[in-house]
């Protein structure tokens, strides 16, 4: 059974600071996603990482994937209050001809304070 672990579960950081969220998974994966969820809202796709060494950046967020270590990171640079949300990583096992289900991590609740 695929297991996905995130840490930390909760992160309070000041504006302007940098920090990293970690996502570990237990079996070989085809794809890894990062999603953002605001309170009471649905999941918004941020990044799709497909191969070892993949790095994607959007604004103050940068995601990377190390398939050998089964580890993805979401790095936050110079945090701003608007980034406050819960961030989930989700992993799909290798595609076998049909679309694969996602297994989600527990989420990291990020709170950026002024």
Partner 1 sequence: EAGVAQSPRYKIIEKRQSVAFWCNPISGHATLYWYQQILGQGPKLLIQFQNNGVVDDSQLPKDRFSAERLKGVDSTLKIQPAKLEDSAVYLCASSALGVGPRRAEAFFGQGTRLTVV
Does 90 bind partner 1 (CB under 8 A)? Our answer is yes
Cα dihedral across residues 85, 81, 22, 49: positive or negative: positive
The mark string for 30-69 relative to partner 1 (x by CB under 8 A, - otherwise) is -x-x-x----xxxx-x--x-x-------------------
* CA-based end-to-end distance of the chain: 41
Does 101 bind partner 1 (CB under 8 A)? Our answer is yes
Options 11-19, 59-67, 68-76, 93-101: segment touching partner 1 (CB under 8 A): 93-101
Nearer to partner 1, 32 or 61 (CB): 32
Nearest Cα neighbor of 37 from 106, 113, 100, 101 is 106
Nearer to partner 1, 60 or 107 (CB): 107
Rounded-to-integer distance, Cα 54 and Cα 73, Å: 11
């Amino acid at each position: 059974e695929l297991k996905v672990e995130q840490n930390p579960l909760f992160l309070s950081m000041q504006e302007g600071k940098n920090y990293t969220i970690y996502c570990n998974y237990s079996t070989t994966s085809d794809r890894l996603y990062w999603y953002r969820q605001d309170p009471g809202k649905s999941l918004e796709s941020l990044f799709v990482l497909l191969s070892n060494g993949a790095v994607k950046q959007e604004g103050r967020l940068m995601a990377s994937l190390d398939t050998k270590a089964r580890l993805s990171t979401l790095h936050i640079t110079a945090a701003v209050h608007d980034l406050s949300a819960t961030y989930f990583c989700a992993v799909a096992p290798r595609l076998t001809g049909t679309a694969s289900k996602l297994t989600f991590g527990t989420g990291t609740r990020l709170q950026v304070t002024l």
